[in-house]
Amino acid sequence: MCSRCGHCAPLVDGCGGGGRTRKRSPGGSGGASRSAGTGLSEARAALGLALYLLALRTLVQLSLQQLVLRGAAGHRGEFDALHARDYLEHITSIGPRTTGSPENEILTVHYLLEQIKLIEVQSNSLHRISVDVQRPTGSFSIDFLGGFTSYYDNITNVVVKLEPRDGAQHAILANCHFDSVANSPGASDDAVSCSVMLEVLRVLSTSSEALHHAVIFLFNGAEENVLQASHGFITQHPWASLIRAFINLEAAGVGGKELVFQTGPENPWLVQAYVSAAKHPFASVVAQEVFQSGIIPSDTDFRIYRDFGNIPGIDLAFIENGYIYHTKYDTADRILTDSIQRAGDNILAVLKHLATSDMLAAASKYQHGNMVFFDVLGLFVIAYPSRIGSIINYMVVMAVVLYLGKKLLQPKHKTGNYKKDFLCGLGITVISWFTSLVTVLIIAVFISLIGQSLSWYNHFYVSVCLYGTATVAKIIFIHTLAKRFYYMNASDQYLGEVFFDVSLFVHCCFLVALTYQGLCSAFISAVWVAFPLLTKLCVHKDFKQHGAQGKFFTFYLLGMFIPYLYALYLIWAVFEMFTPILGRSGSEIPPDVVLASILAGCAMILSSYFINFIYLAKSTKKTLLTLTLVCAITFLLVCSGTFFPYSSNPANPKPKRVFLQHMTRTFHDLEGNAVKRDSGVWINGFDYTGMSHITPHIPEINDSIRAHCEENAPLCGFPWYLPVHFLIRKNWYLPAPEVSPRNPAYFRLISKEQTPWDSIKLTFEATGPSHMSFYVRAHKGSTLSQWSLGNGTPVTSKGGDYFVFYSHGLEASAWQFWIEVQVSEEHPEGMVTVAIAAHYLSGEDKRSPQLDALKEKFPDWTFPSAWVCTYDLFVF
């Protein structure tokens, strides 16, 4: 009886809070008291955790290496990266390939057809190759970038169909695009994908294995025009009706591994096909849900095939080194041959699998349900139906309910104040997270206000040393205060157990919330609940008997190995994707605030199951002092401007992006008279720092020439190439002589007529370069009811104006279209204001002496993308 009481008393006393002063005995189930000196050594704990995280990071880095076993590469039936590299170097040697340019429409198309002809000559007689050059015209609306309408005319698609000699009724589509953005060779986006597809076509066509279904290779020539060519193919090409699924090859970076970041919609059999066939899998349902949330300002042809073709597919993209995506540095030499090899191995294997699969022919039977899928360090992919995932998740939740319920629902004389301490611990944890987030946000806002944003852009470790250490230090500080002043008489072991339970409960709440929302990403929370719970149950007996000794510490860390390894793997992907994006996310989003928030969230997650170590350790003074010192020194260095955001290092450039548009603007009144005309170079910096780093090098670009919004003109009266005006509100307008392109744009009103339903129909005609933007603003009392674009219903952009993106191929007839205006009341200032901007992205018209001279002044750590344009505004 006495012995039993001796075991119970410490547990009851150990549950107490700060107001309790009862003395602890050193033994018993409550764990050793603080005075017994059995707590963790602070130095050993801190060093152990540091080495543990470093080892995990090393494993993640090793998993990301491009280690590809070539084996019989180059032999019949195997993908040969050297052949693909040869294609890549030929395509990129042509230079930038904007839609409508001779480089895109003639030189690249000619090269592709030449190579396809050579492949056809070498093909096995089991297969039949058909080639078609499509030049579609069409229009559609899209809600990307706030919403706009797209119109294209005579753009180019090169389409190849590889099928059995006797033909096929079903097909799998492989898609890439050979066009590029202006001023970029577009090696990764997307010439390498087209090179991979050419080599895959060569391998499949020479294979002695018969295909059951056709494989259609689409080399599209207008993806950078916001997905126009894929729309032209899927809505107009006769082969489109054969397609049952597709694979889209894209890029959001330069080289590295190609990530499967979208699948479906539904059709889980496609994920299973990738899992079964891919030799070097790299896939994540987390990436899929993040991308489809709209957080990343990008879109791919996947959307067109899904929305306009109702076809399921797989979307892959290179994501590494997004710093040079869409810049002059996107060159063939920056893409490793191993990267091409692994992409080719995967695409070849998956296409071959699908082209011989019975499921492709009966895809509609297998279309229901989503999949949870994720790769394990690139070694293999785990995939299972989301409904199974929900069952697993709720089983894990039930295990936690049983584990915590047993403690919380026991009579008070057995559990002491556990329930109260658990709730207090939960509150302290939430307070520590909230205050740490507030702390880093204050730092980030201050850094932004003093003009030192993006100091980490070229030195990522700076963000970790500044925001990461601040987060962890604040968490440790809050819990140290709680340990010293609230839990000052409680057992270390007891507190360690309480705060482990708190962390488990928090992650369980996340698991319930994510599963309830139907998110497949909930599997991460399931991992972060199941493995810690199992670890706790395994080490509990040793912990009760011996306290937080080396054995407990070692087994605890081993038990956390899988959740922490996978978390670091995901965190790498998050920062690999988002850090470069923050350098091109516009002038309105403070990048330091975003990155500080992400880092704080990551630090909270990674520290969650180590909070109990704060209570198990004898002290936290040295750790707290070290973290604070690192944060303070980094803060001072950042404030002093020590870390420059950009780099011109040839091996690893991280340039600042600037758009320069030498333009002439003409504003007309209701009578058609030119009431205002000006010329200058319109300058847009694509990041939050604006021109602050440019002004010391080019003094004439300063705040005295800030561009002012023309309030009565759509989109402020500037020639926006795309409707990103809401992302970039800081512009500069440097006066310059007028431009005089050889191929000037013409715009005129063909007719104005009253319709039987009392609206006004305005018909326009426009001619000009391959890229034009058309803007409309309806005046007060007027609305756009219909037009001849898209599906006939006008779509507004952010701000209420209407934006139409126009492009054409090498040759095109005049663009004729109409808009219909419903007028409720007459206005002396007219019904609508319209404007048209002509963008000269290729040829001699693209340049001007003033533009060339200004570009030369920009430092080498910038990427100024420049072109000439004109802007004409009319009132009707």
CA dist., res. 841 & res. 182, Å (int): 6
Give the mean pLDDT of 268-273.
Answer: 94
Strands 313-318 and 771-778: unpaired
The pTM score is 0.91
The tens digit of pLDDT for each residue in 679-690 reads: 999 999 999 999
How far apart CA 648 and CA 655 sit, in angstroms, is 7
Nearest to 818 by CA among 875, 867, 749: 749
Domain assignment present for 268: yes
Examine the fold and report which residue of 369, 400, 430 is the final residue of a domain before the chain moves on.
Answer: 369
* pLDDT band of 172, cuts 50, 70, 90: very high
Q: Where a domain ends, among 573, 604, 639?
A: 639
**Are 694 and 807 found together in one domain?**
yes
**Domain identity same for 717 and 618:** no
Question: 39 pLDDT band (50/70/90 cuts)?
Answer: low
Q: What are phi and psi of 628, to 5 degrees?
A: -65, -40
pLDDT for the residue 415: 58
Determine the residue type at 424: C
Say whether both 320 and 236 belong to one domain. Answer: yes
Same domain, 226 and 270: yes
Residue 544: pLDDT over 80: no
Catalytic residue flag (residue 223): yes
Same domain membership, residue 242 and residue 127: yes
In this prediction, residue 730 carries a pLDDT of 93
pLDDT confidence of residue 278: 95
Query: Which residues form the domain of 118?
Result: 81-369
CA distance 558 to 554: 6
What was the pLDDT predicted at 364?
79
pLDDT band at 3 (very low <50, low <70, confident <90, very high): very low
Q: Where are the alpha helices (DSSP H) in 64-125?
A: 81-93, 102, 109-122
Question: Which among 283, 21, 245, 291 has a CA at the least distance from the CA of 144?
Answer: 291
If you ran DSSP here, which 8-state letter would residue 484 be given?
I
Structural domain total, the chain: 3
> Which two three-digit tokens encode residue 557?
């860390």
Cβ pair 203, 136 in contact under 8 A: no
Q: What is the CB-side half-sphere exposure of residue 206 using CA atoms within 13 A?
A: 17
What is the structure's pLDDT at 416?
65
The three-point CA angle 539-543-548 to 5° equals 115
Over the stretch 59-104, which tens digit does the pLDDT of each residue have?
Answer: 999 888 765 655 445 566 799 999 999 999 999 999 999 999 999 9
Judged against a pLDDT cut of 50, whether residue 52 lies above it is answered with yes
pLDDT in tens, 320-331: 999 999 999 999
Same domain, 838 and 722: yes
Report pLDDT for 378.
87
The residue with tokens 């704060």 is 614
Cβ-contact 776, 801 below 8 angstroms: yes
Same domain for 726 and 850: yes
Shared domain for 434 and 581, answered yes or no, is yes
Amino acid 7: pLDDT? 38
Contacts 24+ apart (CB under 8 A), 667-676: 667/710, 667/713, 667/717, 667/873, 668/872, 668/873, 668/874, 668/875, 669/875, 670/829, 670/830, 670/875, 670/876, 672/874
Q: Give the separation between CA 867 and CA 839, rounded to whole angstroms.
A: 7
25 pLDDT more than 50: no
**Cα(53)–Cα(468) distance, integer angstroms:** 14
Give Cβ neighbours of residue 349 (< 8 Å, ≥ 6 apart). Answer: 277, 278, 279
Is 19 a domain residue?
no
Mean pLDDT of all residues belonging to the chain: 92
Residue with tokens 């004898």: 618
CATH label of the domain that carries residue 287? 3.40.630.10
By CB neighbour count within 10 A (0-12 exposed, 13-18 middle, 19+ buried), where does 39 fall?
A: buried
Q: Which residues, including other chains, have CB under 8 Å from residue 783's CB and lie 6 or more apart?
A: 821, 822, 824
Condensed to tens digits (0 to 9), the pLDDT of residues 345-358 reads 999 999 999 999 99
Residue 137, burial from CB neighbour count under 10 angstroms (0-12, 13-18, 19+): middle
In sequence order, the β-bridge partners of residue 875 are: 833
175/266 same-domain check: yes
Say whether both 192 and 242 belong to one domain: yes
Within this chain, do residues 337 and 265 fall inside the same structural domain, yes or no? Answer: yes
* Active-site position among 223, 224, 250, 289: 223
Give the model's pLDDT for residue 27: 37
- pLDDT mean over 287-311: 90
Tens-digit pLDDT profile for residues 655-699: 999 999 999 999 999 999 999 999 999 999 999 999 999 999 999
